[in-house]
Structure 1
Amino acid sequence: MSTLTQEKATKLSLLNFKNVSTRTFWITSISFFMCFFAWFGIVPFMPDVVRDLGLTPDQKWNSIILAVSGTVFVRLLIGKLCDKYGPRLCYTWLLMLGAIPVILCGLVQTPAQFLVCRLFIGFIGASFVITQVHTSLMFAPNIVGTANATSAGWGNLGGGANRLGMPLIAGAVVAFGVSDADAWRYSMVIAGVVCFLMGIVYFFFTQDTPKGNFKELKTSGEMIVTKKDQIGFLEVLKDYRVWILFVVYAASFGIELTVYGTMDDYLQNTFQLERVTAGNIVLSFALMNIFARTLGGFFGDKFGELNGLRGRVLFLSFILTLQGIMLISFSGATSIILGIVLLISFSLSVQMAEGATFSVVPFINKKAIGSVSGIVGAGGNVGAFLAAMLLKSKSAVAEKAAIAANEGLGEEAIKAAQSVASSSAVSSGYLLIGFVVIATAVMSLTIKFSKEDESLEVSEKVKEIIPELIPVK
């Protein structure tokens, strides 16, 4: 499979659309954006869904948990499928099949139907793994971290852009005569249709590698997969470094998902902000992905140039430590100004940690990039699930105690007590999570690479750079 590295792009030339690596980068980034846009597309409409379907608080929380947990299993599977069939076909099918539950979400009539759709919508979150595999196959070692991080940032951006985009879509359909009560339904259908169309675009306008698709390369003999080249999934599972990165991604992307999902209420309860103001702050947090995650990959590549593969790990550990410190500090903030500064710092560091993680992933096992990416990517959703369960349990216990203690004092007094109790519970949860992140940063230092791994990276850099130095006759 060495032929796949000979024509990888050594630069991220974003406007060179004739270059297959650049073209694939943009199509996979836009597809990833749309997947996350649809995955979290219902979030801005949750008050309407609660009212329309009569969801209980538990059902609302369960829908959030189902949306992130359903992705875990598909991420584990999709990586192996990418290694076997190539990212082009995997992304095409994921987009087209993933569009179905998105569309059906706009047609649900009962809470049970809504929860089932949320579970299956979560499957399109596996698009992250295919995105990372495809960019890893298209870009050389000197730039792969930056390329991976930038394409991944587009996906996370989609998860935040829906706060603006979905209400705009809803406003547009209302302008065409749809009732306000049904606008969220039409918006989800439209998002699903766009995902389906992106699947068609992906099939016709991308290819698996710079030299062509897996199927054609195998047929022509340019991509010869021998028994020596085949890496079993079990062998990948035995690599301790994969599981450390699994935990690292749980502590970065998993925590970002959870903080993003709980921050609206926390800002309102802690700093008495209006819902719109709190929502705009959280939106800004999500929009930072367009550059913050890229910075993580960029510095991962730079540290790699200075200190080899070990340098990538050292930067990852550093930025994770900073992320933990920022979250711990934010959990104790009582001033809104200080809180926003610390939240921005946390947002920057957590997204850089995500980018730094996938500047390391492509070097763990070059013959099984898909499997490694799938396992590590699944770690993000496991982290989100565990963190959400922690915050849900702490908040539920605190709010029930507050209601019991203030029974008979009136609805306003009970709501105020609930707000204080929830804020305190979530704050203590953020504090605990922050210390877990720092512990994970220390653990990441145990990731080691052999001399063979280091020399292989150097030799691949030389292979990629030499063609650029030879003038074309």
Structure 2
Amino acid sequence: MQSNNAPLQSLNIFKTKGVQMRTFHITWLTFFVCFFAWFGIAPLMPLVSEQLHLTKVQKGNIGIAAVSATILARLIVGRLCDLFGPRKTYTALLVICAFPVMLIGLSNSYTTFLLFRLAIGIIGASFVLTQYHTAVMFAPQIKGTANAVAGGWGNTGGGATQVLMPLIAAGLVAMGMVSREDSWRLAMVFPGILLLVMAFVYYRYTKDTPAGNLEDLEVKGKKKENTFLLAAKDYRTWMLTLAYAACFGVEITVDNFAASFFHDDYKATLIMAGLLASIFGWLNIFARAIGGILSDRIGKRFGFSGKVNLLMILLVFEGIGIMLFAKAGVLWLAISLMFFFGLCLKMANGATYSMVPFINEKAVGSVAGIVGAGGNIGAMLIGFLFKAFPYAIAFFYLGVTVFGVGLVVAVLRYFLRPAKAATAEDLSTAMRA
């Protein structure tokens, strides 16, 4: 019989008892709220652009700002996880980020809006905390699946915001609380309040590990290693960083620009554009989990190199799908192709983070932080692409780039010594060899 303070050997999503499953559910729900708040303003950008008279270049800069601050934040948060544990770190992040989310409505110019959008981007570091906290609650053979499910369900906040934020803004107007032009300002108070609620829940009802909080478990006088250097010295960390730039970096780009793309290029209404863009976000309910589950199963049989092969295949198909999406021309085909490349992309997300906990067990937070930052570096660079070119052309060049990254991962795969482990329990040892 499994100990109550040991990592779980299996994932039963319908179970809520025990510190492991309670933490799992609170973690993914908190990440959902963070993602909702992070991109809450995205489907309302046509209103913001109209009121603040934003140019395409300025909107491009805002999109870049939304993901730029996350890069440094993820690196810092990964290290803080290793030092102070996810419970305190996540709580602090939620409280700090609630204020720029609620106060972005005070913006009265392009500059002030840009600064608020930059500050809100810090909340993207919540992903590192989600993956770290989930990883420590589950045994090696199920880490990839648990991480993928938690990350995927949390990422659905990107789909929920595309649907709910325009409806919240419209509801405020219908109730006579605010004008249509100013509705985006008051609407952003709602996700900010949700962040504060989850800060209380997270601090009150989660533990750092199955055995308890770090301050209760630490041995006094024990010297702590520099986990960031441990993570940075392993080239596999950087391989996963590049891969994550090509999958999650694309994901948050689509979250930022999909509604505007359908609104501008296909003449969809604000609410319809949000609904169409939400299809991409809702794929996270199952797609990222499938990527993690497949990776775990392949890892049991073929080891780490098998996991890398899966990631390479997903990236190549993602790139092809994006190129075809850019050339669709008609709305129904564009939606279908968005579904296809979104499926590959989100499975690649899950496959990437199924490997993260195995790079170095002493530096899980730092590895997660570096790889997670890679996703945002990718999104920032992609933002410059969308700033310089019309959306359709930018999507095509993006597809070519992702296809190329898939080929690079294929080449790097041959630097990996085949893992001889046949079981997931042996996988971490095999990968550290």
Taking structure 1 as the reference length, the TM-score comes to: 0.83
Q: Does 1:369 align with 2:364?
A: yes
Q: 1:293 aligns with which of 278, 288, 292?
A: 288
Task: Report the equivalent of 1:398.
Answer: none
Aligned to 2:202: 202
Given the alignment, which residue of 317, 320, 325 partners 1:325? 320
**Whole-Å Cα distance in 2 between the matches of residues 312 and 196 of structure 1?**
38
Cα offset, 1:385, TM superposition? 0.9
Matches within 5 A, 1:175-324: 176-180=175-179, 181-218=181-218, 221=219, 226-227=222-223, 230-267=225-262, 276-324=271-319
What is the CA deviation profile of residues 156-201 of structure 1, one whole-angstrom value per residue up to 9, with x for unaligned ones? 2111211222233334444554113333222212211210121111
| Conserved? CA contact 2:240–2:371, under 8 Å | yes
Q: 1:348 and 1:177 mapped to 2: Cα distance?
A: 40
Shift of residue 253 of structure 1?
0.5
Greater CA deviation, 157-166 or 197-206? 157-166
Give the letter aligned to residue 425 of structure 2.
Answer: V
Deviations 1:415-445 (A, max 9, x none): xxxxxxx54x335423432433333442452
1:436 to 396, 401, 404: 404
* Structure 2 counterpart SS, 1:230: coil
Match of 2:416 in 1: 448
Q: For 1:443 and 1:90, how far apart are their aligned partners in 2?
A: 37
Q: Classify 1:299/1:49 alpha carbon distance in 2 versus 1 (closer, same or farther; 3 Å).
A: same
Are 2:390 and 1:388 equivalent residues in the alignment? no
Secondary structure of 1:448's counterpart equals coil
Distance 1:73 1:270 in 2: 34
CA drift of 1:68 comes to 0.7
Contact 2:243–2:409 (CA under 8 A) maintained in structure 1? yes
Corresponding residue for residue 394 of structure 2: 426
Give the Cα separation in 1 of the matches to 2:94 and 2:222. Answer: 31
> How many residues end up aligned between the 2 structures?
426
> Does residue 1:129 correspond to 2:128, yes or no?
yes
Matching residue's letter, 1:426: A
Match of 1:140 in 2: 139
Q: 1:47 to 1:130 in 2, by over 3 A?
A: same
Alpha-carbon spacing, 1:244–1:446, altered in 2? closer, same or farther (3 Å): farther
Instruction: Say which SS state the counterpart of residue 286 (structure 2) adopts.
Output: helix
Q: Is the 8 A contact 2:28 2:151 kept in 1?
A: yes
Separation in 1, partners of 2:144, 2:101: 31
Q: Residues 153 and 447 from structure 1, CA distance in 2 versus in 1: closer, same or farther, beyond 3 angstroms?
A: farther
**AA aligned opposite 1:129:** V
Assess if the C-alpha contact under 8 Å between 2:227 and 2:366 holds in 1. Answer: no
Rg bigger for which structure?
1
- 2:240 maps to amino acid: L
CA contact (8 A) 1:5 1:140 kept: no
Q: Which runs of 5+ in 1 are unaligned?
A: 396-421, 463-473
1:313–1:447 contact (8 Å) kept in structure 2: no
For residues 55 and 328 of structure 1, do their structure 2 counterparts lie closer, same or farther at Cα, with a shift above 3 Å needed? closer
CA distance in 2, matches of 1:260, 1:195: 20
Secondary structure of 1:115's counterpart equals: helix
Separation in structure 2 between the aligned mates of residue 214 and residue 101 of structure 1, nearest angstrom: 30
Question: Match of 1:34?
Answer: 33
Q: Is the 8 A contact 1:394 1:429 kept in 2?
A: no
**Corresponding residue for residue 102 of structure 1:** 101
Q: Quick one: distance in 1 between partners of 2:155 and 2:395?
A: 24
Q: CA deviation at 1:45?
A: 1.6
TM-superposition CA deviations, 1:208-255 (whole Å, max 9, x none) = 01110000011xx5xx8855x734422321211111111000011101
Check 1:444–1:159 CA distance in 2 against 1; reply closer, same or farther (3 A cut): farther
SS at the partner of 1:288?
helix
Partner of 1:406: none
Q: Indicate the residue corresponding to 1:58 in structure 2.
A: 57
**Equivalent residue of 1:142, what SS?**
helix
**1:334-413 correspondence to structure 2 within 5 Å:** 334-395=329-390
In structure 2, list runs of 5 or more residues that go unmatched.
none
Deviation of 1:321 (Å): 2.0
Q: 1:428 & 1:275 partners in 2: Cα distance?
A: 24
Instruction: Determine helix, strand or coil for the equivalent of 1:432.
Output: helix
In structure 2, what residue type is equivalent to 1:241?
A: R
Which runs of structure 2 are paired with 1:56-95 in the superposition (5 Å)? 56-95=55-94
Deviates more, 1:115-124 or 1:329-338: 329-338
**Taking every aligned residue pair, what percent have the same amino acid on both sides?**
43
Amino acid at match of 2:141: N
Say what the alpha-carbon RMSD is for the aligned residues: 2.7
Distance 1:116 1:126 in 2: 18
CA deviation vs aligned residue, 1:302-334 (integer Å, no higher than 9, x gap): 111122222222222222222122223333334
Q: 1:431 to 1:125 in 2, by over 3 A?
A: closer
The one-letter amino acid paired with 1:60 is: K
TM-score by length of 2: 0.90
SS at 2:15 equivalent = coil
Against the structure 1 CA distance between its residues 82 and 281, is the aligned structure 2 distance closer, same or farther, given a 3 Å change threshold? same
- Cα distance in 1 for partners of 2:204, 2:272 equals 43
Contact preservation (8 Å) 1:245, 1:444: no
Q: Deviations over 1:280-313 (max 9, x none)?
A: 2221111111110010001011111122222222
Distance in 2, Cα, partners of 1:72 & 1:20: 30
258-267 or 196-205: bigger deviation:
258-267
With 132-141 and 41-50 compared, the bigger mean Cα shift is at 41-50
Question: How far did 1:57 drift?
Answer: 2.9
Distance 2:4 2:356 in 1: 16
Give the Å deviation of 1:273: 5.2
Separation in 2, partners of 1:361, 1:334: 38
- State the SS of the aligned residue for 2:148: helix
Segment drifting more, 365-374 vs 254-263: 254-263
